[in-house]
Amino acid sequence: MSRVLSVSQAINEALTIAMETDPDVILLGEDVAGGGTRSGDDVEEAGGVLGTTKGLVTKFGPDRVLDTPISEMGLIGTAVGAAATGLRPVAELMFIDFLGTCLDPLLNQAAKLRYMFGGKVRVPLTVRTVTGAGMQAAAQHSQSLYWMTAGIPGLKTVIPSNAADAKGLLLAAIRDDDPVIFCEPKRILFQAGEVPEGDYEVPIGEAAVVREGSDVSLIGMGATVATALEAAELLAAEGKSAEVLDLRSLAPLDEDAILATLEKTGTVVVVDESTPRCGIASDVAALCVDRGFDFLNAPVKRVTAPHAPVPYNKALEDAYIPSVARVIEAVRECGI
């Protein structure tokens, strides 16, 4: 059985299930309850700056849904400490742009404690965070910094492209014994899709072929999966068959799935909303030219944001985000 829910609602549902099934799961973050717990007849809680956690403090109480100060370093560090000592915290980093104010607890603590302690600790922490451009929120509220967390050994990073995966990936993330960064792409947060009822997980580390094809592989993640699918549709109209792979997990990367689609089509275009340097697109390309070398029929093209901050002006912002047209153009450059 499934219903139509937005990605945001699917996340709310996953949180509800996780908290119902495990008393050690707690939420903490800025405004995750949202003030209203204070009292008063005409006040109610906000449930997060985008409303994603609405209702949870009412259901689970302020001991398990904690409004924190605007102290990312402190709150993520506290969540790491809680995770190492028996809780299974889900911390909210309002926007991934704020990684700059809480990198150390992720980079040097969550990611490394297990290794540094010779395997003698677990850090079952989940960090939910909103990513990406598209709402004219400008340079400090629009980044796709998942490459930074994906590059850190000891962390996992996932990003859903639809509501059903959002629910299943988040449940998997929360129940994972390692720290997982769960990305919520702004542009799809309020997009609706079929979501199965009940408790299920989408395994971390598995990409999904969301459209089969044979001439070219379009590889996307988060909001760019829809871009890739649109491009595939246009290509189909010209009789060209594009396969679309949704990475879903950025770390670990599903190398087998990438190599499998490359083997099938010989041509890969990666579509990534992030900036071009040191990103997921480069990793996919590097994998193709290493283990996939013998399958390559064409250059591996990367359709990414430019090496620039995100601009405010709407037309510039639109030009900043990988478009269907740029995907098609990249496919052409591969000789298809």
Partner 1 sequence: MDLTREELLEAYRTLRMIRAFEEKLNELVTAGKMGGFLHLYIGEEAVATGVCSHLGVRDWVASTHRGHGHCIAKGVDIRAMMAELFGRATGTSRGKGGSMHIADVQQGMLGANGIVGAGIPLATGAALSAKLKGTGGVAVAFFGDGATNQGQFHESLNMAANWKLPVVYVVENNGYGEFTPTDFVVPVKDIATRAGSYAMRSEIADGMDFFDVYEKAGEAIRRARAGEGPTLLECKTYRFAGHFVGDPLAYRAKEEAEDWIQNRDPLARFEGQVLEAALVEADDLRRIDHDVEEELAAAVVDAEAAPPPGLEELLTDVYARGES
Ligand X SMILES: Cc1ncc(C[n+]2csc(CCOP(=O)(O)OP(=O)(O)O)c2C)c(N)n1
User: Per CB under 8 A, which of residues 232..261 are in contact with its own copies?
Assistant: 251, 253
Q: Which value, in Å, is the radius of gyration of the alpha carbons in the chain?
A: 20
Residue 283 binds its own copies (CB under 8 A): yes
Residue 150 binds its own copies (CB under 8 A): yes
Residue 70 binds ligand X (CB under 6 A): yes
Q: Which of 135, 286, 319, 325 binds its own copies (CB under 8 A)?
A: 286
Phi and psi for 242 in degrees, rounded to 5? -105, 135
Residue 18 binds partner 1 (CB under 8 A): no
| Residues 30-89, interacting with its own copies (CB under 8 A) | 73
- The helix (H) or strand (E) run that includes residue 271 is strand 268-271
HSE, side-chain direction, 13 A CA sphere, residue 95? 16
Residue 197 binds its own copies (CB under 8 A): no
Active site residue 141: yes
**Cβ-based nearer residue to ligand X, 106 or 270:** 106
For residue 120, the partner it binds in partner 1, ligand X, its own copies, none, with Cβ less than 5 to 8 A by kind, is: partner 1
295, two tokens? 């399958």
3-state helix, strand, coil in the chain (%, to 5): 40, 20, 40
Q: How many residues does the chain have?
A: 336
Residue 317 binds ligand X (CB under 6 A): no
CB of 323 to ligand X, least distance (A): 28
3-state secondary structure of 267: coil
Site track 150-189 with partner 1 (rule: CB under 8 A), x = hit: ---xx-x-------------------xxx-----------
3-state secondary structure of 308: coil
In the 3-class helix/strand/coil scheme, how is 187-238 assigned residue by residue? HHCCCEEEEECCCCCCCCCCCEEEECCCCEEEEECCCHHHHHHHHHHHHHHC
Q: Which residues contact 264 (CB under 8 A, 6 or more apart)?
A: 214, 217, 243
Decide: 117 and 172 in contact? Cβ < 8 Å: no
Residue 73 binds ligand X (CB under 6 A): no
Residue 56 binds partner 1 (CB under 8 A): no
d(CA 321, CA 230) in angstroms, rounded, equals: 15
Out of 64, 114, 128, 141, pick the active-site residue.
Answer: 141
3-state secondary structure of 262: helix
Q: Which stretch binds ligand X (CB under 6 A): 15-23, 93-101, 163-171, 180-188?
A: 93-101
Q: Which stretch binds partner 1 (CB under 8 A): 74-82, 231-239, 240-248, 294-302?
A: 74-82
- Contact positions vs its own copies (CB under 8 A): 73, 97-101, 103-108, 111-112, 115-116, 138-140, 145, 147-148, 150-154, 251, 253, 275, 277-283, 285-286, 288-291, 293, 296, 298-302, 306-309, 311
Could you list the residues that contact ligand X (CB under 6 A)? 30, 70, 72, 94, 98, 101
Catalytic residue numbers read 141
